[in-house]
Amino acid sequence: MGHDGYIMYKLERKRWVGAHVLVAEAFLPPPNEGETQVAHRNNSRIMNYKDNLRWATPASNQNDRIGHGTVAAGTSNGRATITDDDVRYIRKRYAEIKLEHGRVSELDEKYGLCRAQIIRIAKRERWSHVV
């Protein structure tokens, strides 16, 4: 099994292929233009049955992840260093700092994030799922 939960097979010396890709290539009709990924209908990476797989565009596969709730965004991303509550505080405090002509560096220092990331969070360019 691969590090990301997919069942993998080594076909050649250095070539690993996911079981879902092998099943799709063997049993599904050829993909349409732009459908370059194999998507699981039920979100299970180990259920590689023909009826559970479909060819998908990268965008539709990402939409599936959103629908299944498996997108590694926010606190579900294992590398996240802040929480949803931190994001709310950053946005609130950033707006206050701007009104007061204060120092944004206060947020940089408090959360250990670079200034650009603080600004992207404040402008909802990052962590946009947090309301």
Question: How many domains does the structure of the chain reveal?
Answer: 2
Whole-number pLDDT of residue 78: 66
* Residue 3 belongs to some domain of the structure: no
* Domain assignment present for 127: no
Are both 81 and 113 inside the same structural domain? yes
Residues 60 and 102 in one domain: no
Helix/strand/coil for 18: strand
**14 & 51 share domain:** yes
Q: What is the pLDDT of residue 17?
A: 93
Separation between Cα atoms, residue 50 and residue 45, nearest integer Å: 13
Domain of residue 100, residue span: 77-122
Q: What was the pLDDT predicted at 129?
A: 84
Whether 66 and 81 map to the same domain: the answer is no
Ordered per-residue pLDDT tens for the chain, 131 residues: 766 678 999 988 888 999 999 999 999 999 999 999 999 998 888 899 999 999 999 999 888 877 777 666 676 666 788 999 999 999 999 999 999 998 899 999 999 999 999 999 999 998 888 88
Pair (39, 88) in one structural domain: no
User: Per the structure block, which two tokens stand in for 32?
Assistant: 């349409």
Structural domain contains residue 1:
no
**Are residues 81 and 47 part of one domain?**
no
At 59, list the tokens: 């965008």
Residues 65 and 97 in one domain: no
CA Rg, the chain, in Å? 21
State the pLDDT at residue 62: 84
Last residue of a domain, one of 36, 54, 71: 71
Q: How far is CA 17 from CA 24, 59, 103, in A?
A: 12, 21, 51
